[in-house]
Structures are given as structure tokens and as C-alpha cells.
Amino acid sequence: MKPDDPLLKILACPLDKGPLHLLAEEAGREEALYNPRLHRRYPITDGIPQLLPSSGEQVPDDEHEELLKRMAP
């Protein structure tokens, strides 16, 4: 998925219905969508976002801070 993909503007977190942020693939970590409000990461498998509530994974506080830095412009 590319950062300018129009699909990103309409994808929403299945729990709070808010926007998600793309986390690009880096250092062995797969591409994912992230909800910073709930500290939840949703995987992207073969280019398909897995947006079921059960697919999301809770991110610990220290990793959340790291992800916020990656998202900053």
C-alpha cells in the first residue's frame, strides 16, 4: 500500500471508527495500519488490510512512542 493511496482516506479503525495511519515496511517489520488513539496495529497481508477487531494487536506504551515518531512528518 502506498502513502498516497486514496483507500487510506476511507479506511477506519473497526473499534472507534477513526482514521488509521500507514506504517511502512522497515527493518523486518511488515506494513501495517495504526490507530494511535487506541494503541492498536492492524496487519496488511498480501496488500489487504486485516481490519477485524480480532486482527488488531495492542501495542505497548514504549512501542507506541516509537510509532508516533515514525508517523511525524
**DSSP-based three-state secondary structure for 27:** coil
Please give the model's pTM, rounded to 2 decimal places.
Answer: 0.87
Please count the residues of the chain: 73
Q: Is 71 buried (19+), middle (13-18) or exposed (0-12) by CB count in 10 A?
A: exposed
Strand partners, 46: none
CB 29 within 8 A of CB 16: no
Q: Which domains does the chain have, with CATH numbers?
A: 6-71 (2.20.25.10)
Cell of 28: 523486518
- Please count the other Cβ atoms lying within 10 Å of the Cβ belonging to residue 39: 16
Q: What is the pLDDT of residues 7-65, one digit of tens each?
A: 888 999 999 999 999 998 877 778 999 999 999 999 999 989 999 999 999 999 999 99
